[in-house]
Structures are given as C-alpha cells and as structure tokens.
Amino acid sequence: MIKNPRLVMAALLLFLAAGSPAGVMAGDRYAVLPFTNETREDSLYWMGEAIAIGLTDHLLAAGVTCVSAERRRDGLLEIGLDSREPVSLASAILLARRLGADWILVGHYTLLANHGLSIRGHIVSAQGLEEGKQIEVQGVLADLHHLQQKFVHNLVPRSQRQPQREGITPMQEMSTVPLSSVELYSRAMLVEDQEQRRDLLTRALESDPVYSAALIQRALLEIAEGRPESSFLWLDRVALAKVAFPERYWLARGDAFAANGDRGSAIDNYKKALALRTTATAHFRLGAVLAQGGQIHDARLHISAGLTLDPRDPEGLELHEALAAPVETGS
C-alpha cells in the first residue's frame, strides 16, 4: 500500500524532469527544422525558414554546435522532403540521424492580432524519446530578430553560453535589415530554380544593398552558373566588419577562387574560414582543392575531419570514396 501518494507523485515528476533537458546539452549537435505555420495566412510560409535560419545563427553565436541551414535543407531533399512542407516527428528524427544531430529543434509560429507573432518550440532527441520544455516567445512581427534571440536565451542558460567572439552578434547584424528583405531572402532559400532564386535575392538587395547573407548567396549563384569572376562583384560589397559569421564570406571566396582555377588563393581563403569556425563544409572544400593539387595526404586529413563532424554529408562521402582509390602515377 502506498502510504504517501503525494511523495510518490513528486518523485515521479522529478524523475521525468531529469530525463527531459530544459535546454541544450553541452557538446551535443543540434538541427533546427523550419517551424510550422499555424496561421491561415499562406503568404507567411517563408517565415518558418526565416525562423529556422535565425535560430540556427543565434545558437551558433551562443556556442552551440548546429547543423547549418544549408546542410539541413540538403538533408531534407535527400530524404524526399521539402523545406516548405510540415515535417512529421518521424521524418524529423530520420533527418536528425542522417545529419548526425543528437537533438532537433521543432516548433510552430502563429500570427497574432495587431501584427503580433508567437513562436513556440522544443527540442527532441534523435531517438524521439526525450523532449525539452516548451518555449514560447511573443512580440511583434517587425521584431522577429529580437524574438529569435530571446527564444535562444530561454533555451540556452547563460552559464552554458560561450563568450561572444570578436565582432558583432547576429542580432546586431540583422537589426538593420528590413523584414521585406528577410522575407525575400527566405523565399529564395526555399526555391531550387536558380532564375527564381536570383530574382528574389536581387529584390532583397534592392531593399538592403548591404545584406551580407543575400550578397554571399548571390555570389554563390554566379559560381554555380559558371561565372566565378562575377561572384567577386557581389562579395566585394560585403561589409566584413558588420558580418556576424565572417567565415561564410571566406568560404564563398574560396569557392570563387577554386572555380576560377586559383588553387592557392582558394586554399588561403578556406583556411581563413576554418580559423574562424570549424565546419565540415570548409574541411571538404579545402580537401578537394588540396587533392586537385596532388596533396593527397593533407586532403584525406581534412576530409576525414569533415566526416567526423558530418558523417553522412554527400560531398564528403564522395570525396572520401574518390581518394580511397589508388592514386595513379605517371609511368
């Protein structure tokens, strides 16, 4: 017979609370999925992507290891899903495992009266067995960037946040970007057609000519379309002192030099990106350029380092397979 049901219930609640992290776990890897639109306004579909991009950046700034927004979008395509569509919990867990993430951050957003906005979300383990506490922030739509920062501060205790790197924060960078530019940029990231993406990015830059994320993506489009020389016209407009993640700028410059056949400059720029933040993408790109120059040993080291960070990245796996074959030498 249970003598004190209240004590038993209290113990059970403590046990459940211990199994469900209130916030992020130090050393673990997180993936932020596009938040689901709970508003009937279909025109707001882009906001789920904007929230995911913003939360990822704020988590990175707090020192949390996160899957990049680009890698997350690629991962969704790899499992046959679209960033514009709601993702079920089962699909989210499948994606997390594919991306090598320990946890996923999922949630919803709702447009409130008088241009208000509610953002709600929680973290779920890649095994789908544990959930963190529900976090909700509310404010006005025009203050989206502040709401994202507030959400992350509720998720990541101050004691777990890393000291701010030199430079500016994502909040400082985005505080001057018009919401109209954020919308156009987010919509651009959701389309695969390069012509549509170019048009949306160009329009985003008409509203904010120094929007660094749009400038970098516009440069990457030039590279993808076989015009690496033209990419520098866009990259040269980036005000590096006002960029929260300058490694993305150096990575794009490395891509431009690599596409233009200048391996030495590409290597220098990729190394600058890695010096600022260790990412799988930078390791893979550096490894690829080193391999092209015959530096196979160093190339393998970087590709292995990248695969340690992202074991299922298609770019890294393809490079690893290519370099695993015997290297041909002249007769």
* pLDDT tens-place string over residues 160-200: 787 777 788 999 999 999 999 999 999 999 998 999 999 99
Please work out, in degrees rounded to the nearest 5, the angle formed at the alpha carbon of residue 163 by the alpha carbons of 278 and 158: 115
- Phi, psi angles (nearest 5°) of residue 38: -100, 5
Residue 270 CB coordination number (10 Å): 29
pLDDT at 147 over 70: yes
Residue 187 CB coordination number (10 Å): 21
pLDDT at 83 over 50: yes
pLDDT at 22 over 60: no
What is the structure's pLDDT at 228? 96
Identify whether the C-beta of residue 186 lies closer than 8 Å to the C-beta of residue 202. no
Residue 109 to residue 122: CA distance in whole angstroms: 12
Q: Architecture of domain 25-167 in CATH?
A: 3-Layer(aba) Sandwich (3.40)
The stretch 283-307 carries a mean pLDDT of 96
Please work out, in degrees rounded to the nearest 5, the angle formed at the alpha carbon of residue 75 by the alpha carbons of 291 and 319: 15
pLDDT at 9 over 70: no
Domain ranges in the chain? 25-167
What is the structure's pLDDT at 304? 95
pLDDT at 5 over 70: no
What is the structure's pLDDT at 12? 33
Phi-psi category of residue 183: left, alpha or beta, with phi > 0 → left and psi -120 to 50 → alpha:
alpha
Tokens, residue 151: 């959400």
Identify whether the C-beta of residue 291 lies closer than 8 Å to the C-beta of residue 319. yes
Residue 241 CB coordination number (10 Å): 8
Confidence of residue 26 (pLDDT cuts 50, 70, 90): low
What is the structure's pLDDT at 23? 57
pLDDT at 221 over 50: yes
Query: For tokens 């639109």, what's the residue?
Result: 37
What is the structure's pLDDT at 325? 67
- Phi, psi angles (nearest 5°) of residue 103: -140, 155
pLDDT at 55 over 50: yes
The percentage of the chain sitting over the pLDDT mark of 70, rounded to a whole number, equals 89
pLDDT at 100 over 70: yes
What is the structure's pLDDT at 326? 62
Identify whether the C-beta of residue 131 lies closer than 8 Å to the C-beta of residue 121. no
What is the structure's pLDDT at 174? 93
Burial degree of 328 (CB within 10 A; 0-12, 13-18, 19+): exposed
What is the structure's pLDDT at 331? 37
This prediction's pTM: 0.85
